């Protein structure tokens, strides 16, 4: 059985009976809500992707920053231990690890005593974990509601 089995069964009943019962209206509302979430996620990804693509997109790519955020978020999910809230915990963990990644980046900048020529590019890389963390959180907010339905 898939996640949408109850919705499919309810849809079949509505088609079979051809009446506007409370269950059929509820089904239509749930389906509309899921579609709105999917459209919202696509808009978020499109807006951020468009903004990143309009600039040099390679400035937004940093593998160590992404590994800190995604790896730390997975660790956070495992530490919480509640598998039914996986998506919500993953989003929360990505934000927490984004801030920790910023702190790690700032400490590294301070310890290497970067000259002024290399200071601003180093700061921009230090802020990437926060960007990744909040982007993942925005996406998981839409997915989390759909997972609960």
- Give the C-alpha distances (Å, rounded to integers) separating 46 from 40, 136, 146: 10, 14, 20
Phi, psi (deg, nearest 5) at residue 127 = -85, -10
pLDDT at res. 149: 46
Average pLDDT, the chain: 82
Q: How far apart are CA 71 and CA 87, in angstroms?
A: 14
Is the pLDDT reported for residue 135 higher than 60? yes
pTM of the model: 0.73
Q: How far apart are CA 101 and CA 130, in angstroms?
A: 7
**Ranges 17-26, 53-62, 109-118, most confident:** 53-62
Give, as one character, the DSSP assignment of residue 149.
-
pLDDT at res. 16: 64
Is the pLDDT reported for residue 1 higher than 60? no
Give one DSSP letter per residue of 69-103, joined into a string. Answer: HHHHHHHHHHHH--GGGHHHHHHHHHHHHHHHHHH
- For residue 23, count other CB atoms closer than 10 A to its CB: 13
pLDDT at res. 58: 83
């Amino acid at each position: 059985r898939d996640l949408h089995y109850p919705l499919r069964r309810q849809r079949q009943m509505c088609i079979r009976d051809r009446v506007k019962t409370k269950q059929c209206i509820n089904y239509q509302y749930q389906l509309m809500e899921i579609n709105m979430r999917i459209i919202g996620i696509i808009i978020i990804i499109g807006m951020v992707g468009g903004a990143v693509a309009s600039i040099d997109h390679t400035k937004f790519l940093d593998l160590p920053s992404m590994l800190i955020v995604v790896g730390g978020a997975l660790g956070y999910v495992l530490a919480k231990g509640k598998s039914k809230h996986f998506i919500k915990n993953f989003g929360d963990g990505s934000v927490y690890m984004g801030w920790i990644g910023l702190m790690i980046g700032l400490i590294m900048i301070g310890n290497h005593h970067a000259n002024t020529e290399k200071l601003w590019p180093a700061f921009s890389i230090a802020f990437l974990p926060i960007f990744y963390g909040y982007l993942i959180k925005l996406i998981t907010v839409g997915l989390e509601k759909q997972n609960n339905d």
